């Protein structure tokens, strides 16, 4: 289950971005398993500048690079955003 986490963005912006992410992956086979988690965090550098980012959390999956590449392309239009990838060692569905 790919989980795209959104960190450091205002709630309203994050919710709009989440909708956009679902639309971005609407034609991918994994979209029904995709979840987006919005964290109510403030992420900033020592300078005080805000540093929002996405984090993809998923088990080892060939779709991970597709997800990262599509996010990079989509958000390059609006300015770049950092993307982290954390690999899960296991996932136990209900």
* 9-66: pLDDT as tens digits: 999 999 999 999 999 999 999 999 999 999 999 999 999 999 999 999 999 999 999 9
Cα end-to-end span (Å), the chain: 12
Q: Helix, strand or coil for residue 93?
A: coil
Residue 18's Cβ-count burial label (10 Å; 0-12, 13-18, 19+) is middle
Longest dimension (CA), the chain: 44
pTM of the predicted structure, to 2 decimals: 0.90
Q: What is the sign, positive or negative, of the torsion defined by CA atoms of 39, 69, 35, 24?
A: positive
Identify the CATH number of the domain in which residue 52 sits.
3.30.429.10
Q: Strand 35-39: give its sheet, edge to edge.
A: 35-39, 3-7, 53-59, 82-88
In a domain, 40, yes or no: yes
In a domain, 19, yes or no: yes
Residue range 85-91: mean pLDDT, rounded: 91
User: Domain of 20?
Assistant: 3-88
Total domain count for the chain? 1
In a domain, 94, yes or no: no
């Amino acid at each position: 289950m790919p989980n795209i986490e959104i960190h450091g963005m205002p709630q309203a912006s994050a919710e709009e971005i989440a909708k956009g992410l679902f639309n971005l992956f609407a034609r991918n086979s994994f979209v029904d398993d995709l979840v987006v988690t919005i964290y109510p965090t403030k992420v900033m550098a020592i300078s005080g500048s805000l540093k929002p980012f996405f984090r993809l959390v998923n088990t080892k999956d060939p779709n991970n690079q597709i997800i990262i590449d599509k996010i990079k392309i989509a958000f390059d239009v609006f300015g770049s955003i950092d993307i982290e990838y954390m690999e899960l060692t296991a996932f136990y569905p209900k």
